[in-house]
Structure 1
Amino acid sequence: MASSTTIPLPPRFSYPGVLRVIAIIGIFALISISLQGADISPRAFIEGLPYMWDVLKDMFPPRVDRLPNIGVLLLDTFYMAVAGTTLGVLVSFPLAICAARTTTPHGIVYQLARAGVSLARTVPDLVWALFFVVTVGIGAFAGVLTIAVDTLGFCGRFFAESIEETERSPEEALRALGAGKIAILATYILPSCTPSFINTILFSLEKAVRSSVVLGLVGAGGIGVELKVAMDTFQYDEACTIILAIFALVVVVEQISTRARRALLEEPHS
């Protein structure tokens, strides 16, 4: 006797409830209000197209004679990103341990660590850059500190979440054998989280390279300072060279990061 297969019927249409209708109307109303509040003007965009074309024409051909100087500034920008990321990651490790429920030494320490990570993450990096420019002066050091704080907020959060998501059974087995908190942390939790940590650090470095360019616009060092000067003085051909150099740096860093992530995280073939 041939077995019959039951074909599942498509879900029947059901009218949305009152709350869902109100939510949909509210979303569309919010979008409409936002578009009006943002002062979006298609007319201004159309009128600005000729000026955009003029700027683009002035950008080409780029000034290749400025490449040596731009290359030095680009390298300084990369150094700034690496230094800031390294500093932020080093501080993120102990802070993440305190900010994870499973490894924090005390409830008060947990709340303080969480608050610190949230503060570093929620305040925009440009605000931190302005703060450090005022306090430590214009230059790369302000950019390094800004990237460090931004990395602290980014890595601290994901490090803590990775620690909290580790399997509890091996930890309980180690504790039953008499292992202390530090031993469990060093021999099980941190090694288990290493792949996630590496992935987060590499993403943080990519993010720092892109941020370091923008930070220069407010005086926090890097090639962004040179880009701002070129734009302010209407040297659009030099600005184009800087933009292309920044693009090349970001692409190279992303490619290296992707290859490093693949080499470090993929399991060896048997």
Structure 2
Amino acid sequence: MSTSTESASTVGLVDERREQDYLRISDKARSGWRRSVAVTGLVLVTVLVSSWVVGMLDGARMITGLTDIADLLSEMWVPDFTNLNSWWGPLWDSMTMSIAATALAVLLSVPLALCGARNTAPHPAVYWVARLILNVLRSVPELILAIVFVAAVGFGALPGALALGIHSAGMVGKFFAEAIEHADHAPVEAARATGAGPAQVILHGILPQVLPQMADTTVYRWEFNFRASVVVGVVGAGGIGFELIAALRTLQYDEVAAILLVILATVTLVDALGGALRKRFQ
């Protein structure tokens, strides 16, 4: 009789625990669902308010703008490629500008990333200084930097390369530092166990893990720098952007369309080459 009572009591306790577990899981799921709905609602409200502030919800203004754009596109057709041969030089300047800028960015980013990663920084003060420098570098738009360097070193591709390289160093350095911080600790501990010094630990325990990510980031930034080279050319930093703004200022919209098509074809080629390089480094 007592055995049956104990068995029934045990079954009752198990059922009670299952019910408690079910209620706890259900409460957690409902809480997570409510939190997700609240976050989604907050994001939507933020988007709507931002759209209203900038005028994207002004239907009449948007319709008028679309009409003006249609008129502009009609003026750009048919593209005029008469000066195509004179654009190859500036286009090459944009390409070399992007390559030089990316090389400068990597050169600056590697030491900053090593100092700006918690697991490789020699001291917390060094870590915070490196992070501050990275924040400063990427907080100044490349267009502003281009204006400064044009005033400092004159017109041409050099100020554009300097502007893009320094601005890119802030972004590339941040990505490099994040990759270093997320490196697996096992190879690092193994290198330390053999008596390796800090430099050897970085060289043999960390860099082999993050080099593919660093290469991928570098290629992606090169693609970005080529597109950005068109923008900095607008302020006199050389490249095809200078030719574009010259055509815009003289209202030669058919020539503008031709230059944009040339830029589009080159960007497509650069993106394809960048994709091939990224696959190579994976």
Pick the TM interval, shorter chain: 0.7 to 0.9
The residue that corresponds to 1:110 in the other structure is: 127
Deviations 1:58-96 (A, max 9, x none): 222222221111121111101101111111111111111
| CA distance 1:228–1:17, change in 2 (3 Å) | same
| CA distance 1:106–1:64, change in 2 (3 Å) | same
Q: CA deviation at 1:151?
A: 1.7
Q: Verify: 1:250 aligned to 2:279, yes or no.
A: no
CA distance in 2, matches of 1:219, 1:27: 40
The residue that corresponds to 1:7 in the other structure is: none
CA distance in 2, matches of 1:27, 1:223: 39
CA distance in 1, matches of 2:37, 2:192: 53
The residue that corresponds to 1:203 in the other structure is: 220
The residue that corresponds to 1:5 in the other structure is: none
Moved more, 193-202 or 114-123: 114-123
1:30 corresponds to which letter in structure 2? T
Deviations 1:208-238 (A, max 9, x none): 0111111112222211111111112110111
| CA distance 1:66–1:190, change in 2 (3 Å) | same
CA distance in 2, matches of 1:25, 1:62: 46
The residue that corresponds to 1:182 in the other structure is: 199
The residue that corresponds to 1:53 in the other structure is: 70
CA distance in 2, matches of 1:16, 1:110: 36
Q: CA deviation at 1:19?
A: 7.8
CA distance in 1, matches of 2:264, 2:82: 18
The residue that corresponds to 1:39 in the other structure is: 55
| CA distance 1:17–1:71, change in 2 (3 Å) | closer
RMSD: 2.6
The residue that corresponds to 2:99 in the other structure is: 82
The residue that corresponds to 1:136 in the other structure is: 153
2:197 corresponds to which letter in structure 1? G
Q: CA deviation at 1:18?
A: 8.8
Among candidates 215, 224, 228, match of residue 245 of structure 2 = 228
The residue that corresponds to 1:261 in the other structure is: 278
Moved more, 23-32 or 88-97: 23-32
| CA distance 1:160–1:15, change in 2 (3 Å) | closer
| CA distance 1:47–1:25, change in 2 (3 Å) | same
Query: For 1:62-77, what aligned pairs fall within 5 Å after superposition?
Result: 62-77=79-94
Give the greater-gyration-radius structure (CA): 2
CA distance in 2, matches of 1:167, 1:21: 35
CA distance in 2, matches of 1:171, 1:37: 51
TM-score by length of 2: 0.82
Unaligned runs of 5+ in 1: 1-9, 266-270
The residue that corresponds to 1:193 in the other structure is: 210
Moved more, 57-66 or 43-52: 43-52
Deviations 1:148-176 (A, max 9, x none): 11220121011111111111122112212
CA distance in 1, matches of 2:197, 2:262: 52
2:62 corresponds to which letter in structure 1? F
TM-score by length of 1: 0.85
More helix by share: 2
Unaligned runs of 5+ in 2: 1-25
Q: CA deviation at 1:104?
A: 1.2
The residue that corresponds to 2:232 in the other structure is: 215
| CA distance 1:50–1:172, change in 2 (3 Å) | closer
Alignment identity in percent? 37
CA distance in 2, matches of 1:228, 1:112: 39
Deviations 1:196-218 (A, max 9, x none): 11101000101101111111122
Deviations 1:220-269 (A, max 9, x none): 2211111111112110111011100111111001101111111232xxxx
Partner secondary structure for residue 111 of structure 2:
helix
Moved more, 180-189 or 131-140: 131-140
Moved more, 47-56 or 93-102: 47-56
Aligned residues: 256
The residue that corresponds to 2:144 in the other structure is: 127
The residue that corresponds to 1:98 in the other structure is: 115
